[in-house]
Chain A
Amino acid sequence: MDNKVYIVHGSAIVQQGLSEVLLKNFKCTIQCYYDFKSLSESDDNCASKSIIFVEDKIANSTEFLQFIDQSHEVKSFSIVNDCAGNLPVNNDYTLSLYNSPDEIYEGIKHAFNTQGLADEESEGLSNRELDVLKLVALGYANKEIAEKLFISTHTVMSHRKNITEKLGIKSISGLTVYAIINNYIDTTNLDIKDLI
C-alpha cells in the first residue's frame, strides 16, 4: 500500500524541497497543488488515510477547515513562515519553513506513525501487531492469541489483516518465515521445519 501525500503550497520551491525530504525517507506518492481549489476540484479522492501539507494561509481558510472537519482520516500539517507570525489553529501539526531536513523528518515520522502509515525501516507494524505476528508465527490460533493478549478474537483478526496488508505476506507459513528471518521469535529450541 502506498502512502498518499498532498502538498498544497503556492511556492514551487517549497513543493520541491518538501517532496525531496519525503521521498528520501518514506514510501509515498506525492501530489502537489498550488491552491486548495485545485485539490478539491481534482479527481483525487483523499478521503482515506493520507497526509496533507498546506501553506498556513490556506490552512486557516474556512474551506480547508471544513474539509478537514469532514475527512476524519486525513492528517494535516501546516507549513508556516515563522516571520509572518499567524499560527494556524486547527491543524494537527506544524512545520516551519526554517526547519532543518532532520527536524522535518522527525516531525513527519511522528505523524506517519500515529497515522499507522508505513515507515521505511519498520514496515510500520505497531507493537501490538508485532505481538500478534509472533504468536501467529509460533502456531497459535486466533482464539489462543486473543486469550494471551487479553483482546477479542475480532481484534486479533483485524490485526492479522493489517499485518498481511502491510507486509504483503498472506500465509501463516510465510508470516512465520518473516518472523524468523527478522529474529522476532527465538527458534533455538524449536524445529524450524515443523514451525513452517
Chain B
Amino acid sequence: MNRFTKQNKIIHLVEANYHLLPVLNRFGINLGNKDKSLEKICAAQNINIDFLLAIVNTFHNEEYFPETELKSFSPLLIIDYLKKTHQHYIEYVLPKLESLLELLIDSNITEIHQLNIIEQFYQKYKKELLLHIKEEEQEVFPYILNLVNNNQVNNQFTIHSFEKEHSNVDDKLNDLKNLIVKYIEPVYDNNICNEFLITLFRFEKDIKDHARIEDKILLPQLITLEKHING
C-alpha cells in the first residue's frame, strides 16, 4: 500500500480511503482547500505535518506502524489527537449508533423483543467505554502532561497498561456484532440494520487504531519519561 506524502492533496487521501475524513477533522482540517497540498494546508494552520502523515498512514494501513517514529513525537501532540478522537466518539459516533439502534427497534413490528436485550448490552458497553475514556482524560493524560511540563513524577501512579481494559471493550464490541449478525431474529428493517452495522464496523476499526496508539506509543512514552526524571 502506498504512503501518503506532503505533496498529496486532500482529494488523494479521501479518494483512497474516505474513513480518513474524520481523522483529518481531528487535526482541525476541513474541506474546501482547493488544490493545496497537505504541506501548504498544514503550514497555514500550524499543524505538524510529519505527525499528521504518521497518523494518517498508520490509520490507513494497519500493517504500517513505525513505533520509533511515532514515539519521537511529543506526548502533547499525541494526547491532543487522542482527545479529539474521544470527542468524536462521544459527540458523534455513540449518539449515531444509539439513534440507529432506536430506529432499528422501532422498525420491528413483531412481538419478538430480542433487540431490547441487545440495547441493554449496548448500554453496558457504552458505560464501560465512557468510564475508560474518563479515566484516561482525568487521570492518565493529566499525569503525562504534568510529567512533560513540570518533570513531576508521582510514584503512587500505577497505570502502566491499558491492554486488558482495551481488550475487554474490544470483546464487547465484537460480541455486539456477532449477536446481531448471527443470533437475533431479523425482525427489523434491513437497511437500518446495515447502517447500524456499517457504523459499528467503522467504529471498531477506528477504536482499535486509537487503542494501539495508547498501548504502543503513549504508555511506553510515559514509562520512559518517568525513568528519565527518576534518573
Contacts and interface: CB of A to CB of B under 8 A. Distances in A.
Interface of A: 167-171, 173-174, 177-178, 180-182, 192-193, 196
B61 interface: no
A171 B176 CA distance: 10
Q: Is the interface of B mostly helix, strand, loop or mixed?
A: helix
Residue from the set B114, B175, B179, B184 with the largest chain A CB neighbour count within 10 Å: B175
Contacts of A180: 117
A181 B174 contact: no
Residue from the set B114, B120, B168, B178 with the largest chain A CB neighbour count within 10 Å: B120
Contacts of A196: 117, 120-121, 124
Contacts of A168: 174, 178, 182
B171 interface: yes
B172 interface: yes
A170 B121 contact: no
Q: Is the interface of A mostly helix, strand, loop or mixed?
A: helix
Contact of B174 (A170, A173, A177): A170
Contact of B171 (A174, A181, A192, A193): A174
Interface in B77-123: 114, 117-118, 120-121
Given A173-B121, A192-B117, A181 B172 contact: no
Given A173-B121, A174-B121, A192-B120, A181 B183 contact: yes
Contact of A178 (B124, B171, B174, B183): B183
A92 B182 CA distance: 33
A43 B114 CA distance: 44
B184 A181 contact: yes
B175 A174 contact: yes
Nearest to A196: B120
A169 B175 CA distance: 5
Interface residues of B, number: 18
B125 to A, nearest CB: 8
A155 B174 CA distance: 25
A196 to B, nearest CB: 5
A134 to B, nearest CB: 16
29 contacts: A169-B178, A169-B179, A170-B171, A170-B174, A171-B168, A171-B171, A171-B172, A171-B175, A173-B121, A173-B124, A173-B125, A174-B121, A174-B171, A174-B172, A174-B175, A177-B117, A177-B120, A177-B121, A177-B175, A180-B117, A181-B114, A181-B117, A181-B184, A182-B183, A192-B117, A192-B120, A193-B120, A196-B117, A196-B120
A177 B171 contact: no
B158 to A, nearest CB: 25
Contacts of B179: 169, 174, 177-178, 181
Contacts of B171: 170-171, 174
B175 A173 contact: yes
Contacts of A193: 120
Contacts of B175: 169-171, 173-174, 177
Interface in B121-177: 121, 124-125, 168, 171-172, 174-176
Nearest to A168: B178
A193 B120 CA distance: 6
Contacts of B124: 173, 196
Nearest to B171: A170
Contacts of B114: 181
